[in-house]
């Protein structure tokens, strides 16, 4: 089954303690769609300006991503610049130039409206709501978000949460949204805002799934070298919903393994700047790493 | 088979954001022995002063811990005072009064010398070496340590590492000992110092085992309330070696499950001040929680 992914498409300038790269292919939708496309036909909705490099479009095409929903308009592509600290666990934003993203309305092409699996990747909650209004009877809606929207758009975010099956957010965001320092209690309170499934991402410490059957503890794939963690959370969410849609099956059955696929796909994302490593690996490498990860949690 | 545990026996004064308790039963050997005693006959070597409360001795006895190696001498018991920050992940030491611990020599009673499983709980590395000199053909030696010894007694610690089968330390200590920010690479470098097994404790994020068969990723048991994490790492190590000695079997076979038992036993430790919760639960509760934890990592 197909996956619909709506989010940002960006050019990222990223500095790590060891290197700096300019105008990399980035954005929540780009990372999520590249990850989902390993597993399922993927439709992407986003916007780019007329400065968007053809090589980036070719990467999407090479991965078989349906670009009918990618708007190309005059102006500059959304540009983000960020810098990582020594241990790569913290970053700060140096620059955000919205460009064509400022006027973005995620209108779905008619053929996209009945997509069964929908990932609302990280964008403003009012845009996520705009997508939900157009989606016709989706089977499963996963929403991602970020700290900015918790501070500036809580009312809209709560509207998204009432309509999403699952929410995916990091530990800091979960603590803030759940108004609880303890993650288990925070997840419990987030359920009350709507979603049946709460996924808390903890970076190198893995992720936590809270659902009707209790908890699932998903490890991160241990890496001995992290080049650039930008987009790891988006890759995680994209691979998760991509694998779910390929596998079908009830969420309670497929979500744990979908999370492991998310962890493995995100690990490749971290091993290169932007999408370079994700673009270079194939499904076989993902399966190989999944086998290794499963062996690391087997008793 | 029996377990020998050598470490500190202390009175702890602990302040958390919510409460403060004075002169609790504490110390690395106390926590580790209480945890090990769920699984195996446990021999404890330590020292207490003449101010050591009878109730604490009775707790050890109630748990069946062999106290022949517990020296009782005139003077004051080692006293530690610490304070936790809001999120309980950080603490600072307010007071350390060594008392009778200053003159402590962990001499083993003759009956202890052939104990097959040995846990060198956290004490000065020269004392750990003194135990190793007396131990006769131990089957498995697990050494624990702390940041203080990395700064003040590295030469002795390295001597311990050359003779231990396994080392257990937290993530900050592993980074320091391995001189590597990345934990996987740090573990690799610690192997080169001697131990075949490196166990990195990450608190609420679980623990990592690195050994000849690769990695095992052990989750922490998720708690919705942490009362006092003091001794959780000691409980983890104590339960781990206790279960190993009960199960026998080759380390590569039994260590992963031993770590899960460690995680579960440590979770009880965190739910009460000092040893109060550990003393109140029985083996059935540990098994019940182990079943739940296993369900949380099952695909």
Neighbours of B261 (CB within 10 A): 29
Q: Residue A253 has what pLDDT? A: 95
| Beta strands A79-84 and A91-97, pairing class | antiparallel
The position carrying tokens 């309170």 is: A189
ipTM of model? 0.94
Contact residues, chain B, for A217 at CB < 8 Å:
206, 219, 222, 296-297
B93 forms beta bridges with B82
Neighbours of A299 (CB within 10 A): 12
Mean pLDDT, residues B232-240 taken together: 98
Residues 6+ apart with CB under 8 A from A190: A161, A167, A174, A177, A178, A198
Tens digit of each residue's pLDDT (9 = 90 or more) over B124-139: 999 999 999 999 999 9
Please report, rounded to a whole number, the percentage of residues in chain B having pLDDT higher than 70.
100
Residue of A nearest to B206 (CA): A205
Which letter does DSSP use for residue B29 in this model? H
Window 80-109 of B, Cβ < 8 Å to A: 86-87
Mean pLDDT, residues B197-209 taken together: 97
Overall size of chain A counted in residues: 299
The position carrying tokens 């209480």 is: B34
Tens digit of each residue's pLDDT (9 = 90 or more) over A3-47: 999 999 999 999 999 999 999 999 999 999 999 999 999 999 999
Tens digit of each residue's pLDDT (9 = 90 or more) over B10-59: 999 999 999 999 999 999 999 999 999 999 999 999 999 999 999 999 99
Q: Is B44 left (phi over 0), alpha (psi -120 to 50) or beta?
A: beta
d(CA B136, CA B141): 11
Q: Which two tokens stand for residue B245?
A: 């000695």
Residue of A nearest to B226 (CA): A182
Does B215 contact chain A (CB < 8 Å)?
A: yes
- Kindly state the greatest CA–CA separation across chain B: 56
Which letter does DSSP use for residue B66 in this model? B
Which of A87-101, A158-172, A276-290, B252-266 comes out lowest in average pLDDT?
A87-101
Q: Residue A88 has what pLDDT? A: 83
What is the reported pTM?
0.96
Residue of B nearest to A204 (CA): B205
The position carrying tokens 């979908």 is: A258
Question: pLDDT category, B206, cuts 50, 70, 90?
Answer: very high
Cβ of B206 within 8 Å of Cβ of A202? The answer is no
CA angle, B119 then B124 then B130, to 5° = 65
Cβ of A256 within 8 Å of Cβ of B219? The answer is no
Cβ of B217 within 8 Å of Cβ of A260? The answer is no
d(CA B60, CA B67): 8
Question: pLDDT category, B168, cuts 50, 70, 90?
Answer: very high
Tens digit of each residue's pLDDT (9 = 90 or more) over B154-164: 999 999 999 99
CA angle, B66 then B67 then B71, to 5° = 155
Beta-sheet strand order (sheet of A20-26):
A20-26, A10-15, A79-84, A91-97
Window 241-270 of A, Cβ < 8 Å to B: 256-257, 260
d(CA A167, CA B22): 43
Q: Residue A89 has what pLDDT? A: 78
Q: How far is CA A294 from CA A212, A246, A269, A290, B212, in A?
A: 23, 20, 19, 6, 17
Residue of B nearest to A210 (CA): B296
Tens digit of each residue's pLDDT (9 = 90 or more) over A244-266: 999 989 999 999 999 999 999 99
d(CA A170, CA A238): 15
Beta-sheet strand order (sheet of A207-211):
A70-72, A42-48, A3-6, A117-120, A140-144, A166-170, A197-201, A207-211, A214-218
Residue A229 distance to chain B (closest CA, Å): 14
Closest alpha carbon to A271 in B220, B254, B168, B182 = B182
Tens digit of each residue's pLDDT (9 = 90 or more) over A166-212: 999 999 999 999 999 999 999 999 999 999 999 999 999 999 999 99
d(CA A56, CA A49): 12
Contact residues, chain A, for B226 at CB < 8 Å:
182
Question: pLDDT category, B88, cuts 50, 70, 90?
Answer: confident
Burial state string for B215-233 with b = 16 or more CB within 10 A and e = fewer than 16: bbbbbbbbbeebbbbbbbb
Residue A25 class from Cβ within 10 Å (0-12 exposed, 13-18 middle, 19+ buried)? buried
The phi and psi torsions of A59 (rounded to 5 degrees) equal -65, -45
Q: How far is CA B249 from CA B33, B194, B291, in A?
A: 21, 22, 21
Which residue in the set B205, B214, B296 is minimally distant from A215, CB to CB? B296
* Cβ proximity of B131 and B106 under 8 Å: yes
Interface test with A, best of B224, B229, B247, B292 (most A CBs within 10 A): B224
Cβ of B217 within 8 Å of Cβ of A297? The answer is yes
Tens digit of each residue's pLDDT (9 = 90 or more) over B249-266: 999 999 999 999 999 999
User: What is the dihedral sign for C-alpha A131, A35, A224, B294?
Assistant: positive
Question: pLDDT category, B90, cuts 50, 70, 90?
Answer: confident
Model confidence at A237: pLDDT above 80: yes
* Cβ proximity of A156 and A129 under 8 Å: yes
d(CA B274, CA B268): 11
Q: How far is CA B205 from CA A206, B233, B250, in A?
A: 8, 12, 26
Which letter does DSSP use for residue B41 in this model? -
Mean pLDDT, chain B, integer: 97
Q: Residue B87 has what pLDDT? A: 76
Neighbours of A85 (CB within 10 A): 11
Beta-carbon pairs below 8 A across chains A and B: 71
Q: Residue B67 has what pLDDT? A: 97
Model confidence at A74: pLDDT above 90: yes
Residue B299 distance to chain A (closest CA, Å): 6
Window 14-43 of A, Cβ < 8 Å to B: none
Model confidence at A87: pLDDT above 90: no
Window 154-213 of B, Cβ < 8 Å to A: 181-185, 188, 202, 205-206, 208
Mean pLDDT, residues A54-81 taken together: 97
Q: Which two tokens stand for residue B223?
A: 């708690």
Question: pLDDT category, B230, cuts 50, 70, 90?
Answer: very high
d(CA A243, CA A283): 12
Tens digit of each residue's pLDDT (9 = 90 or more) over B72-87: 999 999 999 999 998 7
Beta-sheet strand order (sheet of B10-15):
B20-26, B10-15, B79-84, B91-97
Mean pLDDT, residues B170-195 taken together: 97
Does A116 contact chain B (CB < 8 Å)?
A: no
């Amino acid at each position: 089954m197909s996956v619909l992914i709506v989010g940002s498409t960006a050019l990222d300038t990223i500095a790590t303690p060891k290197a700096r790269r300019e105008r990399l292919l980035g954005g929540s939708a780009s990372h999520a769609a590249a990850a989902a496309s390993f597993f399922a036909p993927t439709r992407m909705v986003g916007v780019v300006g007329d400065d968007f490099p053809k090589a980036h479009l070719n990467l999407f095409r090479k991965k078989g991503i349906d670009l009918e929903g990618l708007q190309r308009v005059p102006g500059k592509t959304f540009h983000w610049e960020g810098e990582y600290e020594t241990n790569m666990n913290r970053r700060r934003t140096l620059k955000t130039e919205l460009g064509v993203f400022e006027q973005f309305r995620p209108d779905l092409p008619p053929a996209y409206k009945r997509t069964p699996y929908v990932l609302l990747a990280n964008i403003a909650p009012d845009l996520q709501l705009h997508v939900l209004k157009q989606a016709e009877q989706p089977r499963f809606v996963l929403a991602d978000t970020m700290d900015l929207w918790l501070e500036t758009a809580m009312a809209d975010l709560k509207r998204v949460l009432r309509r999403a099956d699952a929410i995916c957010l990091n530990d800091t965001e979960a603590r803030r949204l759940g108004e609880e320092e303890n993650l288990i209690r925070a997840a419990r309170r987030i359920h009350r805002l709507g979603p049946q499934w709460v996924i808390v991402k903890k970076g190198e410490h893995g992720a936590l799934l809270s659902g009707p059957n209790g908890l699932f503890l998903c490890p991160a794939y241990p890496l001995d070298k992290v080049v650039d963690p930008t987009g790891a959370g988006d890759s995680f969410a994209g691979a998760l919903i991509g694998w779910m849609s390929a596998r079908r099956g009830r969420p309670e059955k497929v979500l744990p393994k979908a999370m492991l696929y998310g962890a493995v796909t995100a690990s490749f994302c971290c091993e290169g700047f932007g999408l370079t490593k994700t673009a270079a690996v194939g499904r076989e490498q993902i399966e190989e790493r999944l086998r290794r990860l499963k062996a690391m949690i087997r008793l």
